[in-house]
Amino acid sequence: MSATYAAALFDMDGLLLDTERTIMASWLRCARERGVTLAEAHYLQIVGLSTAESDALLIGCFSDERCFAEVRERVAQELEQRHAQPGSGCKPGAAALLEALARHGVPCAVASSSAQAEIDARLRAAGLRQHFSAIAGGDEVARGKPDPAVYTLAAQRLGVPAARCIAFEDSRNGAHAALAAGADVVVVPDLVPPGAELAARCVVVLDSLEQALDHLPRWFATAPAAIRATCP
């Protein structure tokens, strides 16, 4: 693991924004209203996956594709209303960490399983969009997390090798994706803890992004110089 990094990569849902519980609750409730019991344990398997991959896993819980499509549409309507509320939903420490990285001159990108347009809209509503030089969405890559493609794309858009980046993730699928891309990983668990094996492969497991502030002088002590050194 590197001592100093040139850039930071971030997941969004469950990491920067407190959305995962809201999304899960909406799915469970809307499914129940259609007479379908969607178990929380089953839902947790899709955390961090792309929309296409999560749909493929969820559809088996429903009586038919029409029922699934109706529930998915209802969930989308609920979430669109909630995510559009300005300034809401930031996880503790998210804004402070991004502001500190800006002061350090550290470029940041989002690598999320959500679609690029959704990422942009949610970050703007939360007041965080200005902190990111690049966005990579799950709709732009062939395979979602734990495949590394979205993290590789985010690093490319920053112009920094993934091996010179530190990635912040909340999910197991996301952490595996960032590691596979070559980045070092900080895990801040949301719905599911990383497990001992995955935790051992990461830089650190934190309780919240607030705790990351104490590590910044070591992680990004020479970030601008490191960025110049990695550029062709």
Which of 52-56, 160-164, 183-187 has the lowest average pLDDT?
52-56
Give the per-residue pLDDT at 85.
Answer: 55
How far apart CA 180 and CA 112 sit, in angstroms, is 15
CA of 175: how far to CAs of 37, 54, 105, in Å?
A: 29, 17, 24
Looking at residue 78, its pLDDT comes to: 81
pLDDT of residue 225: 47
The pLDDT value given to residue 148: 97
Confidence (pLDDT) at 164:
96
Is the pLDDT at 151 greater than 80, yes or no?
A: yes
- pLDDT surpasses 90 at 12: yes
| CB contact at 8 A, 71 and 36 | yes
Mean pLDDT score, 179-191:
96
Contacts of 61 (CB under 8 A, 6+ apart): 31, 36, 38, 39, 42, 68
Which fold, 7-18+89-230? Answer: Rossmann fold (3.40.50)
**What are 18's two structure tokens?**
């407190």
Q: What is the average per-residue pLDDT within 137-149?
A: 93
- Every domain of the chain with CATH number 3.40.50.1000 lies at 7-18+89-230
Reported for 63-72, long-range contacts at CB under 8 A and 24+ positions apart, including other chains, are 63/36, 67/34, 67/36, 70/34, 71/27, 71/30, 71/31, 71/34, 71/36
> Quick one: pLDDT at residue 222?
60
pLDDT of residue 232: 37
For the ranges 19-33, 74-88, 112-126, 171-185, the lowest mean pLDDT is seen at 74-88
Give the pLDDT band of residue 181 (cuts 50, 70, 90).
very high
CA distance 39 to 200: 29
Q: Catalytic: 190?
A: no
pTM of the model: 0.81
Average of pLDDT values for 87-114? 91
Mean pLDDT throughout 161-179? Answer: 96
| pLDDT above 60 (res 22) | yes
State the average pLDDT over residues 34-60. Answer: 81
Examine the residue annotation and report whether 11 is marked as an active-site residue of this protein: yes
Neighbours of 51 (CB within 10 A): 17
Give residue 83's pLDDT: 58
Average pLDDT on 122-144 reads 94
Query: What residue ranges of the chain are covered by domains with CATH 1.10.150?
Result: 20-83
**Across 112-126, average pLDDT:** 91
Average pLDDT of the residues of the chain = 87
Q: Out of 3.40.50, 1.10.860, 1.10.10, 1.10.150, which CATH number does the structure's domain 20-83 have?
A: 1.10.150
Given a cut of 70, whether residue 84 has pLDDT beyond it is no
